[in-house]
Amino acid sequence: MLGNLSVQELENRIYQKDEMIIVDTRQPAFYEEHHIPGAINIPFGFEMPQEAYSLPKEQEIIVCCYIGLSSKAF
C-alpha cells in the first residue's frame, strides 16, 4: 500500500518501536550529515538501486528523501 506519513506520524511510530524498514534515498554525503536513526541509505539516482530489490517484501518499508520526489519513485 502506498501512502504518505507526516513527520509526526513517523516520529510516533519510531517511538512506539513499530516494525518497519526506513530507507533514506539521499546521496551518502547528505545521509551522513543527518538521518533518521536506524534508517538505511540506498541512494536513488536514475535507476532503481539493486539493494532495493533485496528488501524484505513482507515488512513495511518507509522511504524518505530530501523533497519527496525520489521516495515516490522508489
pTM score of the predicted model: 0.80
Task: Give the pLDDT confidence score for residue 70 in this predicted structure.
Answer: 53
3-class DSSP state of 63 = strand
Domain 7-73: what homologous superfamily?
A: Rhodanese-like domain (3.40.250.10)
Q: In angstroms, rounded to a whole number, what is the distance separating the alpha carbons of residues 49 and 66? A: 17
Cβ atoms of 71 and 25 within 8 Å: the answer is: yes
Q: At 10, which amino acid appears?
A: L
Q: In the chain, what are the domain boundaries?
A: 7-73
Q: How many CB atoms lie within 10 A of CB 44?
A: 20
The better pLDDT of the pair 41, 73 is held by 41
Q: Using the predicted structure, report yes or no on whether residue 54 has a pLDDT greater than 60.
A: yes
Q: At 18, which amino acid appears?
A: D
Q: In angstroms, rounded to a whole number, what is the distance separating the alpha carbons of residues 74 and 70? A: 6
